[in-house]
Amino acid sequence: MFTIAVFARNEDENVPLVIDRLLARYSGERVVFVLDGDIEPTARILAGNKLKFIEGPNRGKGAAVRCAIRSIDSELLVFMDADGSHDPGEIEGLLDPLMEDRAEMVIGSRFLGSSEELHGSVANRIRYLGNVSGNIVINSLWNRTGVKITDAQNGFRSVKRRPFLSLALEEDGFSIEQEMVIKCLKKGYRILEVPSVEMKRHSGRSHISNSHFFYFARCIVKNMFT
C-alpha cells in the first residue's frame, strides 16, 4: 500500500545509518532509494542490503521527486532524505491521515516540532527566515482552508500518488516542495501537517545553499500567473 522513497545524492556516508533506522521498523520491500550524482558507492551499499533503487535524472531534487511519483507504483508514497535528518519513527504519523482519507498530502512540520538545522549559524537563520517568508506568501495567496501551512519547504512528507500525477509539477530543484503545496492548494487538495523533529544531518554538508532562495521566489512568482 505504501512505499518509502529515500532521496540520496552522494550520501553514501549517511546511507548505512538511514538503512539501519528504516529496517528496524519496516520491511525492505517498503523502501526504494532514488539516486542522483555518483550513484555507484550508494548502489553497492543498497545491493549489500538487498534494497531497491531507481536512478534519478540527475537534475536536482525536484526532478528526482517527479521520477519517484512516476516510477513507484504504490498508492501512498513517503518522501524522506538520506542525510540522517528524518526519523523513520515519524512515518506512521505521516501515513495515518492518508489512510484515513483526511488528506492528499501530509507534511512533517519542523515549526510544530523542532529542528537542529534551522538555527545556530547565520546561513541557517537565513534559511529559517526564507522558510517563514515563503509560508506567509503561500498562505496569503492560495490557502483558503483556514489551517495555515507552517513548513511548506520540508521534504519529509507523504502523498497520495494518483492525485499528484495530475499536478504537472515542473520544478527541478528544492523548490519542488513549495510547488507541491501551491498546486495542491490550487486544486483544492487537502494538506495536513504533523509535528516533526529534524535532526542535524549525520555527515557531510547540505546540498541547499542560500542561493536556492532565488528559485523559491521564482516558483512563487511563476505560480501567481499560471
Of 207, 211, 199, nearest in space to 36 by CA:
207
Return all residues near 139 (Cβ < 8 A) that are at least 6 apart: 148, 149
Mean pLDDT across 148-157: 96
Q: How many CA atoms lie within 13 A of 221 on its CB side?
A: 6
Q: What three-state secondary structure class fits 152?
A: coil
Return the ∠ at Cα 87 (arms to 77 and 75), rounded to 5°: 10
pLDDT, tens digit, for every residue of 167-193?
999 999 999 999 999 999 999 999 999
> Terminal CA-to-CA distance of the chain, rounded, Å?
33
12: cell is 553514501
pLDDT, tens digit, for every residue of 83-108?
999 999 999 999 999 999 999 999 99
Cβ atoms of residues 114 and 197 within 8 Å: yes
Distance CA 3, CA 54 (A): 13
191: cell is 494538506
Cβ atoms of residues 197 and 113 within 8 Å: yes
Question: pTM for the complete prediction?
Answer: 0.92
Residue ranges of domains in the chain, CATH in brackets:
2-224 (3.90.550.10)
Of 11, 24, 4, nearest in space to 206 by CA:
11
Compute φ and ψ for 115, nearest 5 degrees: -145, 140
